[in-house]
Amino acid sequence: MRGVALALGGGGVRGYAHLGVLKVLEEAGIPIRALSGSSAGALAAAAWAFGHKDPFRIQEAIFDQEVAALKKAGSLRALARLFTALRRPHLVGWERVEAGLRALFGEARLEESPIPLALQAADLLTGEGVVLREGPVWRAVLASMAIPGLFPPVEWEGRLLVDGDVAEKVPVRAAKALFPRVVAVDVSNPPPKEGPRTALEAALLAGEASRRRLKEEALKEADLVLRLDPPAPIDTFDHEKLPLVYRLGQERARARLKEIQALARPRFRDFLGAWRGRPPRT
């Protein structure tokens, strides 16, 4: 069968690049056979699968609400309650973002997606990756975007789920389970060139370095990897960069378009596997 699956990685505002990549593939007539996503990639995957392809519409519905919540958390009034806030398991509530997701997806469910869809989350208590294939879309996206410490975890069938990046930043394996030929899209910032200035920065850099190593191991399983490689680091919540990252996504996809088109062509072993009644191998 002609086409590819896409595994869309997390990265906050850099996730807008995923929509640019998907737009280029759509214009080139390359069938998208499946989508997986983690964190911002989960939002992009779900939005595209259910026909929400305008990044500015998504910004209005979701990210503007997220920014408003973060600004509220950083207001003078909130800072005056800093010590109280640090005793809580999270700093910001979900109310605004949840309302935006409900408005975007309504009562749609993952299993109703026109394109096979898998969203990556993580179990907060075990660190285990949890791939969501059934249930309300808005709630699954919420779980995949729940940055630990910043937003509250999402209860899901007896588990506490948080940001999918904790388990697998670019969910290649989830995409492979849906379709054998996978393009992974990594929208990470480049590694920092300078060491930490504070103890907090050191702790954050150590966690990011660990996730980066796990990400690179997962990317080895993809058939092709697109990297955003921004000219300069783009802050996770710098939503003014939407036009830039959307354009970068398009540029990176066009630069590798011939390779993606070649990957999308059916292979003899795919037909052989179908003839034998087995799923095609990669």
Q: List active site positions.
A: 39, 163
Strands 117-123 and 159-163: antiparallel
Sign of CA dihedral 160, 165, 168, 172: positive
Q: How many CB atoms lie within 10 A of CB 111?
A: 11
Q: Select from 186, 252, 249, 240 the least CA-distant residue to 56.
A: 240
* Helix, strand or coil, per DSSP, at residue 8: strand
Q: Can you read off the two tokens belonging to residue 127?
A: 């660190």
Asked if residue 146 lies in contact with residue 103, where contact means CB atoms within 8 angstroms, the answer is: no
- Could you give the angle at which helices 40-49 and 16-27 cross, rounded to 10 degrees? 40
Sign of CA dihedral 35, 237, 211, 229: positive
Query: At 172, phi and psi to the nearest 5?
Result: -65, -45
* Helix, strand or coil, per DSSP, at residue 114: coil
